[in-house]
Structure 1
Amino acid sequence: MGKYWKLLTILVVIVLSVGTFYITTAIAGNSSPDFKFKLEKGDIKDIQNLKLVGDYLHGMNGEGVAITSDDTVYSSELSYFSQLNNSFYTEPAIQQLQKDYRGFMRGKTWHTATISQDEEQVVYANVKGNDFTNKVKEFEIELLNKKTNNKTTFTVDIPHHEKYNYVNVENVNLIDGKVKLVTLNYLSNQDQTQDEIHLFQIDLKKQKVIEDKVIYSNTVQKQQNSSLYRVESGNTTSFNDYTVFMKDTFKEMKDEYGNYYEEIGKSELIAVNMQTGKVTTFTPPPEFDLVEDSSTFAVSGSKLYFLQADGKGYEVLEYDLEKAALTKKPITQLPESDSAPVMRRQVKAENNKLYIVIQVQSQKAPADVYVIDLKKQQTIVEGKLVSEKVTNDAGNYELYINDFYVNE
């Protein structure tokens, strides 16, 4: 009889916990503002695939928020189990795969960098046992045939894995029956070379690595530091023509009081052609104001796009990665934001369109949103994110847009 009382007690605790969760959610949701897109140019259908994700802070309380053209959803409004699964922050491309291939996607990472697909198959590739306390040794590969629903799983040794503390998969592509991986490898014994960019080819039939090519070594001089990171190219599981990295080098300086600080020295862009494996390294043109805007890049096909403030507003510059040349004039001009200070600028490319979100410090219109048709080189959407249904209780709040996604 005792065990039944224990089970009953556990059940009551679960019911009360979940019940309290939903009551608290209902109370909290009443005072939270709704956000809508107010367009000054264009059609709302052109941003129906846009999803902004961030943090909403009100007093001492904070929670996640997702904003689309249809709805504003707070993390507290999600089901108990959705919150446990972290589905709120999952990229739309991954959510679609989870919906279509639930069994295959179970337990997979939520980031598109490790997944690629074509019409026939889906491939997942990541590092097994990837942390700083357990030496990396193997790639874990899983392949799903969409027609038969058959799954193939295997591991392959990472060549010279003993050299690395950490290996991060930056991009996965399916090409001609092979998986191409671009990885960022952090060396165990750092001297002047701190990390390396690798291009791996894995034969799916033979289930083995057939190429491991070091395409860039991040080497710095003494008394220098550097950061090497991938330029954002959207949240897609489709084929990427290029994978682009930025390297920033910092010099160690000393002020008049003897205090040390770092000053950015120079920057390099490293572009990897995923079809041919050709690597192009170039110094960004002076038109790119990297000190202020180092994160406002997007890659579409063989073009690199950069959002540049010009004193009147913003201009979008285009760099041809194949020709290694900057287009002579901006492809479009965007108007200046309102008088509120700019907090962050984010740019992503998808479906031959460039999506731009410029966040400002304003509660009435916390962000400007633009969509540019890259083929026509025209701005097709100009709009603002505005708050609606703000009660007195929710009047003083802060909204931080951490990221945004575009559905494929």
Structure 2
Amino acid sequence: MKKYWKPIILFAIILVTFSIYYVYGALAKEELPELELVTVSDKNNIAENITIEGNYENGRMSWNEFKLTAQDMMDYSDLGYLERLNNSYSHVNTAKLIEDYRGFMRGKNERELLYEDEGRVVYVGPYSQGKGKNKFEVAILDKVKNEEKDVTVKIAEEAGFEYMYIEEIQAAGDKIYVFTSNYYRDGEQLRVYEIDINEEKITDQKTLEILPADSYYSILNNFGNIKEEPYLVYKVEENKWDEETGEGEVISLEVKSYHVQSGEQRTITLPPEWDKNIDANNMYDVHSSNHYVIKDEFIYFIIHVEDRIDIYPYHLEKNELGEVRHIPLEPTVSEGVVGYFAAGEDFSFISSVGENGSNQRKLFIIDLDNAEIQYEGDIKITNANREMLPYLIEFNDVYID
């Protein structure tokens, strides 16, 4: 019997440890807040397709992530260890692909490396590579035939090349377009590589931008989208920095479009009221009052001005800026805005108003085509103890599936 006492004690310690872990987790959960999304108005019946992601401070100096829909709230702290490892934090569109095509999607959860249309899913990797690697790994899933094709495409070596990373994937017919940031000893470039699937090689490459010092670019297309987009839209900023304060000022701003199939590149006319120093750095810049949304052949310039939201539609094919349209806001709603989000092909914002004071938020989703609020919902915080302060709950993104 003595020879078994060590494994018995070890098993007992493991059992007690797991018991304490789960009991503590269950007790801690009783103190955590619950959120509920309640529809107030819904003109286009989109409530069932809305997903809100965020996080909250759980009272133990750490943050819990959550996902909120009209049906329920998913608290990531409720997920098992393996569930968290298995892409639980994937973007909603990527998660859908993982659910539908688990075999093909194994190890392919980076949104910017994926493209999907009705007949196929395309993956191009790796996300980043340095000098000496020089290749794209391409995987294509035929969704109809359930067949996979894997191709390795060589990239020609270049003098002074250091490394690259992939920004965006698009496809049309037998062509795949890979947009990359390339870094060289003397600067950075925005590139696009055209891959012919049948020939299994790069058949064309273009340099869209060569960035001077103190300049950078940002792709403005909706980060969550993995569908076909006819245009890639990006901005290029040149900054001037104060050496004493370390603060920067935007001295020039250009917004440009690139038609994926034709390769035509244009400079876009900005609205006269557009302030280049406060526009969104990217789609996740939730605190900026100026935003861009790209939808089909339009780019919408969105400006929050006092008690209204101004929308300027710009037709990318016609290269034409349309007339401004206004959406009036209640003063309390306008003053309480805590975040702006590109909700798929729409635009949304969250305001800290409501019948429960600062313990409630309101979600508004704008129909950009018709310049009107198409959805209003209350985000109610329940089951929060008195120490759970409202500002400890943050909203990171809004999706419309």
Same topology, TM > 0.5: yes
Q: CA deviation at 1:177?
A: 1.5
Deviation larger for 151-160 or 389-398: 389-398
Do structure 1's residue 263 and structure 2's residue 235 form an aligned pair? no
Structure 1 residue corresponding to 2:207, chosen from 208, 214, 230: 214
Q: 1:185 corresponds to which residue? A: 182
Q: 2:379 corresponds to which residue? A: 385
Task: Report the CA distance shift for 1:244/1:393 in structure 2 as closer, same or farther (over 3 A).
Answer: same
Q: Deviations over 1:79-105 (max 9, x none)?
A: 221122341x21121111111111110
Q: 1:167 corresponds to which residue? A: 164
Deviation larger for 269-278 or 26-35: 26-35
Task: Report the CA distance shift for 1:33/1:76 in structure 2 as closer, same or farther (over 3 A).
Answer: same
- Asked if 2 retains the 8 angstrom alpha-carbon contact of 1:127 and 1:167, the reply is no
Q: 1:74 corresponds to which residue? A: 75
Structure 2 residue corresponding to 1:203, chosen from 193, 196, 215: 196
Q: 1:115 corresponds to which residue? A: 114
Identical-pair percentage: 23
Q: 1:327 corresponds to which residue? A: 322
Q: Which runs of 4+ in 1 moved over 4 A?
A: 1-21, 331-337, 359-362
Q: CA deviation at 1:139?
A: 1.0
Alignment of 1:267-346 (within 5 A): 267-282=253-268, 284-294=270-280, 295=282, 296-330=291-325, 332-338=327-333, 341-346=336-341
Q: 2:154 corresponds to which residue? A: 157
Q: CA deviation at 1:236?
A: 2.4
Task: Report the CA distance shift for 1:393/1:358 in structure 2 as closer, same or farther (over 3 A).
Answer: closer
Residue identity matched to 1:166 = Y
DSSP 3-state at the match of 1:390? coil
- Asked if 1 retains the 8 angstrom alpha-carbon contact of 2:87 and 2:95, the reply is no
Structure 1 residue corresponding to 2:361, chosen from 358, 363, 366: 366
- Asked if 1 retains the 8 angstrom alpha-carbon contact of 2:129 and 2:165, the reply is no
Q: What CA distance in whole angstroms lies between the structure 2 residues aligned with 1:287 and 1:101?
A: 46
Task: Report the CA distance shift for 1:24/1:406 in structure 2 as closer, same or farther (over 3 A).
Answer: farther
Q: CA deviation at 1:278?
A: 1.1
Q: 1:126 corresponds to which residue? A: 125
Q: 1:252 corresponds to which residue? A: 241
Q: CA deviation at 1:30?
A: 1.5
Output the TM-score relative to the length of structure 2: 0.85
Q: CA deviation at 1:401?
A: 1.5
- Asked if 2 retains the 8 angstrom alpha-carbon contact of 1:65 and 1:72, the reply is yes
Q: CA deviation at 1:379?
A: 2.5
Task: Report the CA distance shift for 1:229/1:5 in structure 2 as closer, same or farther (over 3 A).
Answer: farther
Task: Report the CA distance shift for 1:342/1:380 in structure 2 as closer, same or farther (over 3 A).
Answer: closer
How many residues matched?
Answer: 388
Q: CA deviation at 1:280?
A: 1.3
Do structure 1's residue 241 and structure 2's residue 227 form an aligned pair? no
Residue identity matched to 1:200 = Y
- Asked if 1 retains the 8 angstrom alpha-carbon contact of 2:51 and 2:400, the reply is yes
DSSP 3-state at the match of 2:242? strand
Q: What CA distance in whole angstroms lies between the structure 2 residues aligned with 1:241 and 1:336?
A: 38
- Asked if 2 retains the 8 angstrom alpha-carbon contact of 1:136 and 1:167, the reply is no
- Asked if 2 retains the 8 angstrom alpha-carbon contact of 1:234 and 1:405, the reply is no
Q: What CA distance in whole angstroms lies between the structure 1 residues aligned with 2:200 and 2:245?
A: 54
Q: Deviations over 1:290-323 (max 9, x none)?
A: 4233242111011111321122132222122223
Q: 1:48 corresponds to which residue? A: 48
Task: Report the CA distance shift for 1:240/1:184 in structure 2 as closer, same or farther (over 3 A).
Answer: same
Q: 2:395 corresponds to which residue? A: 401
Q: What CA distance in whole angstroms lies between the structure 1 residues aligned with 2:7 and 2:269?
A: 66
DSSP 3-state at the match of 1:119? coil
Alignment of 1:24-63 (within 5 A): 24-42=24-42, 45-59=45-59, 60-63=61-64
Structure 2 residue ranges without an equivalent (≥5): 283-290
Q: What CA distance in whole angstroms lies between the structure 1 residues aligned with 2:3 and 2:151?
A: 43
Q: What CA distance in whole angstroms lies between the structure 2 residues aligned with 1:299 and 1:317?
A: 12
- Asked if 1 retains the 8 angstrom alpha-carbon contact of 2:90 and 2:109, the reply is no
Structure 1 residue ranges without an equivalent (≥5): none
Output the TM-score relative to the length of structure 1: 0.84
Q: What CA distance in whole angstroms lies between the structure 1 residues aligned with 2:246 and 2:252?
A: 19
Q: What CA distance in whole angstroms lies between the structure 2 residues aligned with 1:159 and 1:2?
A: 68
